[in-house]
Amino acid sequence: MKKITKTLRTRGAGAIGADLMLAPLVMAMRLPLMAADAQNGSGLGSETARAINEKATAVAEGAFAAQMALFQSAARFWPEVFSGRTPSLFNGIAVERSISAALKPASRAVKANFRRLSSKD
């Protein structure tokens, strides 16, 4: 059972990492749109506003998800102790889950932006 769980966590982390590898491409696709917005002189353009909004939303969702993951690990502390297992707060699994939960919203946003911007040829 441990090996299956570890494999699933590794796959999840790999998927998040693969999605976040698209971030430089998204930035490269977004820069011309933001430059065109800036040349219009109308202030904050639609693409710039969307980028700021998406980043703020991803940060807030990631912070909340990380806190909830740590809270769940803390709630499982005594059941893990009484079952004879090492609590996830002590062996690093809680931190791993928290980091993974924190990066998921950013990963989803980058992937969605890549799809949206790559279809704007």
* Cα–Cα distance for residue pair 66/50, rounded to 1 Å: 24
CB atoms within 10 A of CB 98: 20
Give me the DSSP letters along the chain. Answer: -HHHHHHHHHHHHHHHHHHHTTHHHHHHHHHHHHHHHHHHTSSS-HHHHHHHHHHHHHHHHHHHHHHHHHHHHHHTHHHHHHTTPPPHHHHSHHHHHHHHHHHHHHHHHHHHHHHHHHT--
pLDDT at 121 over 80: no
How many CA atoms lie less than 13 Å away from 93 in the CB half-sphere? 15
Top pLDDT among 55 and 8 is at 55
Which pLDDT tens digit goes with each residue over 7-52?
A: 766 777 788 888 888 889 888 988 888 888 888 876 788 888 888 8
Q: In which residue are the tokens 């693969």 written?
A: 18
pLDDT at 4 over 60: no
Residues ≥6 apart with Cβ < 8 Å to 94: 69, 70, 73, 74, 88
Which pLDDT tens digit goes with each residue over 69-110?
A: 999 999 999 999 999 999 988 988 899 899 999 999 999 999
Top pLDDT among 120 and 74 is at 74
In this prediction, residue 2 carries a pLDDT of 56
